[in-house]
């Protein structure tokens, strides 16, 4: 399952004590293919360092980059679909370029994706995505 994670979604899933840790564990277990670009990785590092410290940011990025299920995407077109917060376009552009199935975010700016259903990307919130993962893993067994 190909997925793009908004930074805040990844941030809340890192801590072993987080109730959202299931998402980070799904990444570590190889249940998801995490699609990222270099600018997404830069934002992950910046925000994790600001919120959790440089050591946690470095360890998290190193761990993510070692995963066999991470895919570095190169964007060749910038869609500019989000006007209210243009910085969020990096996630949309990555999802489109990667043909991701899901973009997971709590940010309301991403709602613009619902206008463009032909991209085939489903915008879901973190709790909704948990149901998707549970359904997918139970179907595979």
pLDDT per residue as tens digits for the range 21-78? 999 999 999 999 999 999 999 999 999 999 999 999 999 999 999 999 999 999 876 6
Element of type H or E holding 123: strand 122-124
Q: In what order do the strands lie in the sheet with 70-72?
A: 70-72, 33-36, 2-5, 102-104, 122-124
- Provide the whole-model pTM: 0.89
Whole-number Å distance between alpha carbons of 39 and 35: 12
Domain ranges in the chain are: 2-140
Using DSSP's 3-state secondary structure scheme, residue 3 falls into: strand
Confidence of residue 15 (pLDDT cuts 50, 70, 90): very high
pLDDT at 88: 84
| Banded model confidence at residue 107, pLDDT cuts 50, 70, 90 | confident
Q: What is the DSSP code string of 43-72?
A: HHHHHHHHHH-HHHHHHHHHHHHH-TTEEE
Closest by alpha carbon to 97, among 124, 61, 71? Answer: 71
Band of the pLDDT at 79, cuts 50, 70, 90?
A: low
CATH number attached to the domain at 2-140 = 3.40.50.1010
What pLDDT is recorded for position 5? 98
């Amino acid at each position: 399952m190909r997925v793009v994670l908004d930074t805040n979604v990844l941030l809340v899933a890192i801590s072993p004590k987080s109730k959202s840790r299931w998402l980070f564990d799904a990444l570590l277990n190889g249940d998801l293919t995490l699609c990222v670009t270099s600018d997404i990785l830069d934002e992950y590092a910046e925000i994790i360092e600001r919120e959790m410290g440089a050591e946690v940011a470095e360890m998290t990025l190193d761990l993510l980059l070692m995963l066999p299920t991470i895919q570095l995407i190169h964007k060749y077109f910038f869609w500019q679909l989000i006007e209210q917060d243009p910085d969020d376009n990096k996630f949309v552009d990555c999802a489109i370029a990667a043909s991701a199935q899901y973009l997971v975010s709590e940010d309301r700016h991403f709602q613009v994706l619902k206008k463009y259903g032909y991209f085939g990307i489903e915008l879901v919130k973190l709790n909704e995505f948990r149901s998707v993962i549970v359904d997918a893993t139970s179907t595979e067994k």
